[in-house]
Structure 1
C-alpha cells in the first residue's frame, strides 16, 4: 500500500481516426515524462477522436492498441488508462482500459452514451460500475458523459479516486469544470478529469481544461487550456483520511440501489 500516488495527465490533440499516429504521439509524450509515476491517464477515444464510425475505427482486445498499452505499462512501470473503440461479440463499446505493468487489464464500458451525438445508436451501453484496486488505492474510472450523472458516480464503494477521460467540447466546458469540482466535493475523493484539445473532423473545438481536484474541491493542477500539456501530480492518502475523519460527510450519505 502506498500513501502517495503519482499521476501523469496527458492533455493532447488527437488525429482523426488514425490510431497509428495517435499511438506515436502518445509514445513520445510518455517518453518525455521525466518523473517516475504510478499512473498515466489519456483522453477518451485516444486513438481516433470521438467518432461514430465504429465499423471502420474499432479494434479488438487482441488488437494493436491494447498490445501498445501493455508494452508501455510494462516499460514505464506505470498503469496506462484511456478509452478506445472495441468490437466484441457483435457490438461496439466505448471502452476504458486500465492496463497495469503486470499486463492485467480492467475494463469499464461507458455507461451513459452521448445521445446528443447519436452515440447510443452506435455503441452498446455498459452496465457495471468498476472500482479498481491499484497499489492500495481504490480508483473508480468513468467516461465523459458519465460526469453529468452523480448517482452513477456516488461513492458508495469507499473509493479514493474518481477518474474521467473525455472528449468534452469547448462550448460546454463550464459544465465540465463545475461538475468535476462537484464530484470531488460530494464524494470526498480526488477527482481527475483528462480532456483532449484541438479540432475534430466536424470542427468541434476542445479546450482541454484537464484538472485534478482534492476532496475539498481545490484544483491541485495548473494545466493550461487550449494547449497540449503533460503534468504530474501527487495524490496523498493522508489528505483523504484527515478530511473524511474530520468532516464525516460520507457517513450521512443516502442508501440506494440502482436498477
Structure 2
C-alpha cells in the first residue's frame, strides 16, 4: 500500500501548551491545504510542553482528554491519520509520556506510554514508565509507536515486529550532541526489522538542551528516503508498504531466528 507521510519537525515553546497547540494547528492547516495532502501526519515527542519536567504537574494534560479531543476533531476535519507525537498525560498514579494515534475518523487507534525513561535527562524523577505495547492499523498497514529513548532498546521494538508491524513511528526530542547515534539507530532499526522507520524529532532548543532535528523516513533496506536538517521543517515522502514483505522474503531473517537460545 502506498502512503504519503508528513513529518512536522517543529520548535517547541518551553512549558507553554497553549502556544504549542496554536503552532500545531497552524502547521497542520499549512500541510493539509497542499494540492496533494498526506495520508499520515507525525508530530514530535512532548510537543505540548517540551522538557519542562519540573512543571509537568501543572501543565500536563489530565487523562489526555484535551489531546484526544483536539486530534479527534483535526483528524475528522482534514480526513488524515495523525500520529500525535507524545504529550505528558496526568493520571491518578503519575504522569506518563504518552503517544496517541488517530485514524481519519478521529478514533484513537493506539495509546502508548514511553517504556524506557532516560535518567540522563531526569525523566525517571518526573514520569512514570509504561509497560504495554499494542500494534495498530492505519489503512490496513500494521504499525507501532515508540518514543525517543526506546530507540536504544531493540528487544522492545522487536516485540512489535513479531506481532506484525511493518511501519514504526518514533517521535523524539533527541539532543544535538548525540545526532550520530540518532541517525545510526534509526537506520539500524529499519535494517534489522526490515520495516519502515518514521522518526520525527524536534528542532530548536530549551534552557538545557539543543535538539538535533534530522527527522527522517527510512525504508526496509535502510535507505534514507527523506531527511530534514536541524531547523524547523516539514518533510513529506511516499512509502510503499508492499516493499516490506518483498524484502522480508528476499532475506528471510525471521525464519532463521533461534528464540530458544536467546
The TM-score normalised by the length of structure 1 is: 0.93
Partner of 2:235: 231
Q: How many angstroms does 1:109 deviate by? A: 0.5
Gaps of 5+ in 1: none
| Distance in 1 separating the partners of 2:6 and 2:261 | 34
The answer to whether the 8 Å contact 2:2/2:239 transfers is yes
4+ runs deviating over 6 angstroms: none
RMSD of aligned alpha carbons: 1.7
Gaps of 5+ in 2: none
Partner of 1:45: 46
Partner of 2:141: 137
| Distance in 1 separating the partners of 2:61 and 2:8 | 22
The answer to whether the 8 Å contact 2:74/2:106 transfers is no
Post-superposition Cα deviations, 1:3-51, rounded to whole Å, max 9, x if no partner, equal: 1122110111000111111111111111111122221100000111122
Partner of 1:25: 23
Q: After superposition, where does 1:1-259 map in structure 2 within 5 Å? A: 3-33=1-31, 34=34, 35-52=36-53, 53-61=55-63, 63-81=65-83, 82-105=85-108, 106-154=110-158, 155-202=161-208, 204-223=209-228, 225-255=229-259
The answer to whether the 8 Å contact 2:214/2:227 transfers is no
Q: How many angstroms does 1:63 deviate by? A: 3.6
> Residues 256 and 194 (structure 1 numbering): CA distance in 2 closer, same or farther, change over 3 Å?
farther
| Distance in 2 separating the partners of 1:158 and 1:256 | 20
Post-superposition Cα deviations, 1:179-213, rounded to whole Å, max 9, x if no partner, equal: 000000000000111000111122x1012010011
Q: Normalized per residue, which structure has more helix?
A: 2
How many matched pairs? 254
